[in-house]
Structure 1
Amino acid sequence: MRTLKQVKCGETVSVVKLTGEGALKRRIMDMGITKGTEIYVRKVAPLGDPVEVNVRGYELSIRKSEAENIQVAG
């Protein structure tokens, strides 16, 4: 299973599963990233961190460490 960290610029993917524990998982869900949500990867910073994505019509920056906990398909 791929994670959001592995998705390339310009790809649109769908969230399959959130991994992680407690506060980290809650933080990701509070950003609007839940199972079935579509995520469009806008750009990746030159050194790879953070990743800019579009989720539910708004822009969001996510750290690589957080992106590793989001399993995606597509």
Structure 2
Amino acid sequence: MIPLSFLMPGEKGVVVEIKGGRGLVRRLYGMGLYPSAVVEVVSHGFGPLLVRVNGTTTIAIGRGIGMKIMVRRV
């Protein structure tokens, strides 16, 4: 398992665990980031990470939050 922030653009992963408080977990679940969700990093440049969730929705998250989302490469 590695943090989502470590994936490079074009790489995909499956969310395994979210290491955070109840509020953060609830907010990420609302965005579609939950265990077993497939994520693909769209942009990894300056600023927030752009992540495509389950092949449909693209969201922006901060790098600190990306370090709390543990994924397994696909």
What percent identity do the matched residue pairs reach?
Answer: 26
The equivalent of 1:34 in structure 2 is 34
Once the two structures are TM-superposed, the CA of residue 22 in structure 1 deviates from its matched residue by 1.6
For 1:58 and 1:22, the matched residues in 2 are separated by 23
**What number of residue pairs does the alignment pair up?**
72
Work out whether 1:22 is the aligned partner of 2:58: no
The equivalent of 1:53 in structure 2 is 51
1:17-67 deviation digits (Å, cap 9, x = unpaired): 111012111111111001011001011133xx3000111311111111111
1:2-13 correspondence runs (5 A): 2-13=2-13
What's the C-alpha RMSD, in Å, of the aligned pairs? 1.0
The equivalent of 2:62 in structure 1 is 63
Structure 2's unaligned 5+ residue stretches are none
TM-score normalised to structure 2 length: 0.89
For 1:22 and 1:36, the matched residues in 2 are separated by 18
For 1:22 and 1:15, the matched residues in 2 are separated by 17
8 Å CA contact retained: 1:28, 1:66: no
